[in-house]
Structure 1
Amino acid sequence: MAEEPNRLFRTAADHATGYRRSLPGRPVGVPVDQEALTRAFSGPLSRDPSPPERVLAELLAAAEPGLVASAGPRYFGFVVGGALPAATAADMLTAGWDQLATNAVTSPAAIAAEAAAGAWLKDLLGIPASASTGFVTGCQAANTAGLAAARHRVLAEAGWDVERRGLLGAPPIRVIAGEERHGTIDRSLRLLGFGTDVIEPVPAGPNGAIDIEALRMSLRAASGPAIVCLQAGNVNTGACDRLGEACELVHRHGGWAHVDGAFGLWAAASPATRHLVDGVELADSWACDGHKWLNLPYDSAFAFCARPDVHAAAMSYAAAYLTGSGGAPVGADLTAESSRRARGFAVWAGLRELGRDGVAALVERCCALARRFAQGLASAGFEVVNEVVLNQVLVGFGDDARTERVIAAVQADGTCWAGGTTWRGRRLMRISVSNATTTEADVDLSVAAITRLAA
């Protein structure tokens, strides 16, 4: 019996390794018959158990036609990174160890890894060392945690216990956010009971960053508790809000400043781009992904809060059968999940693999490759619409209909994959360079394919 899981795990690892090796030459995305794919996974559940080896073989056969090479070097959609070797191996160990990362009682190792990785993350991102770190699934969860902490704080200052009394009858809260905020902000506000009608949108400047003067006027316009949602890395253009100036304005009016930094917060890790997020340390909460620019396996993100007690008050719960380790809030105290996967092991391994200089080099290389993309496509006669400040490139191919046809042709071709977006009323191709394995040759090959298909 002992040999069976060993053989099974080796088979799975061998297939994963073979798949990873195939990525540079594999078609990135090809048309899929979704109904046939669903049928391959479907059928009645058998009454009798199946041998694990057969189950694994059936899974491999069913999944293979529907896999997208999003971990490969020429996938430029949705700000998707790859998965670093050490982080991937650590994630495989995480599944094998099957730790419950609720607290230091359920898994001392998982909590210790999160403590170490959290300290490294805060140092790299310019976040105060005293802040708390919750290891969550993605920026949807991270933004929700940050805004839950904000809700707790501004209502507590108004004399209202929102965790006990809810929002019915609570003092009204103002939520101010840039008009080009990410959609996860709106969904977090829905989940937290605010609703989206509460949002007071602030105009954006030419490249998508919040207009500071408009924010100043908005904060002056009315009194009452205010939560202000700022952004490091506009999802279309990469533009970053002037965080230092914005946070000072928010605090001058007694508000809470939350930064959605899904990918753009990583600008802080490089001396070449750090100026884009000057003043980031002045915010009250921050959301950031690991599975984007840090190239960690899905799913991995971080919710930071400058006030750990507020973070825990908003997110934690107590049960008679749960005995914590005492001291600072950890693990499930800082997230919406109690039965938590031990994501910290992969984060720890990825950061150890790269080191401080490696993270900086990754950021700088992706920015340089994005500029190379923009220069190549502009030289081919296409319109690059945004100022390329980080790793995002917006390209137009004429009218909206033609742009849509080019995007569809690129996605069907398989050389590379780029998505579409609507920005300032136009349909555009959005290219996100986030993968640690992307090279200049990958960019040039992709530019040539896009040019060929657009013709």
Structure 2
Amino acid sequence: MSILAVSSSYAKIRSLIDNTTTDALPPPSSITAGVESLPANLTAHGLGEEATEAHLLSDICPGFNGPKTSPNYYGFVTGGVFPIAEVADNIVTAFDQNVGVHLPEQSISTVVEDKALGMLVELLKLDRGNHWQGRTFTTGATGSNVLGLACGREAVISTRLRAAGESHGVGELGLLAACAKAGIKEIQVLTTMGHSSLYKAASVVGIGRASVKDIPSSSREPWKLDIAALERELKREQDGIVSIVALSAGEVNTGRFATSGSSSVARIRDLCTK
């Protein structure tokens, strides 16, 4: 498709969005019509660019729900953006940049991402002595928890492996062999009101959904972590049961934090460091 066609298509998309109602959900008839317009099988020949564009805009778009166009859609918050962020998103698509590999002599893209991450750390007041060197953007909740649990798994197992005189970690030895050499019987993930993606991530990284354990301070405040219970659970390390602590910085349904403030976060950090 030519650059002119891309520009024209985007103008049509913007016009379509601007003229979409603010209803949270589309009419059932629009969903039905869109479904019926989908091809039942792979065709021998494609529709062509213009017909495909018309199909997407006329048949498919009217069947979308309203995270972007309605102030009243609360099903999923997938990331509505300010207009300038939408511009940036389209720049990335247009230039097809890859931030998975750091090649500063070939592209500025990873440098831009690193600067953005650094400013995010500053915004959240997390940068204490420039400790947050390893940082990245993820695709969302599942990606974040998979990455977080994988890093946590590596950290708790490697700590015991080093104490046993083993220089390799899970990546080299494999999960079962690493745990055996480290004398680990169980890995538990301690949390409160864990998001569903935390359980999914525990399954993906080989820890298991059953390892995710809630330790709330009370039934009235199930989102708040019981620090005394946390301390007891962490002491099980001497019995070969190691722990990863997953704190919520704003539980997804209520916005409640798992901690009461910076002092409780510092206390949890101290307990985990022991």
Q: 1:249 aligned to 2:268?
A: yes
Higher strand fraction (1 or 2)? 1
In 2, the alpha carbon distance for the partners of 1:226 and 1:201 equals 12
- 1:36 offset after TM fit, Å? 4.4
Q: 1:175 aligned to 2:188?
A: yes
In 1, the alpha carbon distance for the partners of 2:117 and 2:265 equals 25
Counterpart pick for 1:61 among 55, 58, 61: 58
SS in structure 2 of the partner of residue 126 of structure 1: coil
Q: 1:38 aligned to 2:57?
A: no
**Partner residue in 1 for 2:143:** 141
* Contact persistence 2:187–2:243 (CA under 8 A): yes
In 2, the alpha carbon distance for the partners of 1:254 and 1:177 equals 15
- 1:38 offset after TM fit, Å? 2.7
Structure 1 ranges of 4+ moved more than 6 A: none
* Contact persistence 1:8–1:52 (CA under 8 A): no
Aligned residue identity for 1:32: P
Aligned residue identity for 2:268: L
Q: Higher RCO, 1 or 2 (CA under 8 Å, sep at least 6)?
A: 1
In 1, the alpha carbon distance for the partners of 2:57 and 2:122 equals 41
In 2, the alpha carbon distance for the partners of 1:195 and 1:183 equals 13
TM-score by length of 2: 0.80
- 1:67 offset after TM fit, Å? 1.3
* Contact persistence 1:174–1:200 (CA under 8 A): no
* Contact persistence 1:176–1:227 (CA under 8 A): yes
Query: Rg larger in 1 or in 2?
Result: 2
Q: 1:14 aligned to 2:11?
A: yes
Counterpart pick for 1:162 among 170, 179, 190: 170
Distance 1:39-1:237 versus aligned 2 partners, 3 A rule: same
Distance 1:249-1:28 versus aligned 2 partners, 3 A rule: closer
TM-score by length of 1: 0.50
In 2, the alpha carbon distance for the partners of 1:31 and 1:213 equals 51
**Partner residue in 1 for 2:2:** 5
- 1:91 offset after TM fit, Å? 1.2
- 1:165 offset after TM fit, Å? 1.4
Aligned length: 251
CA-to-aligned-CA distance 1:145-187 (integer Å, 9 cap, x gap): 1111111111111116211111214123432423411111111
Structure 1, unpaired ranges of 5+: 256-455
In 1, the alpha carbon distance for the partners of 2:98 and 2:191 equals 38
User: Percent identity over the alignment?
Assistant: 24
- 1:109 offset after TM fit, Å? 2.1
* Contact persistence 2:26–2:62 (CA under 8 A): no
Which is further off, 29-38 or 228-237? 29-38
* Contact persistence 2:190–2:245 (CA under 8 A): yes
Q: 1:235 aligned to 2:252?
A: yes
Structure 2, unpaired ranges of 5+: none
- 1:58 offset after TM fit, Å? 1.6
In 1, the alpha carbon distance for the partners of 2:92 and 2:59 equals 25
In 1, the alpha carbon distance for the partners of 2:199 and 2:65 equals 29
- 1:86 offset after TM fit, Å? 0.8
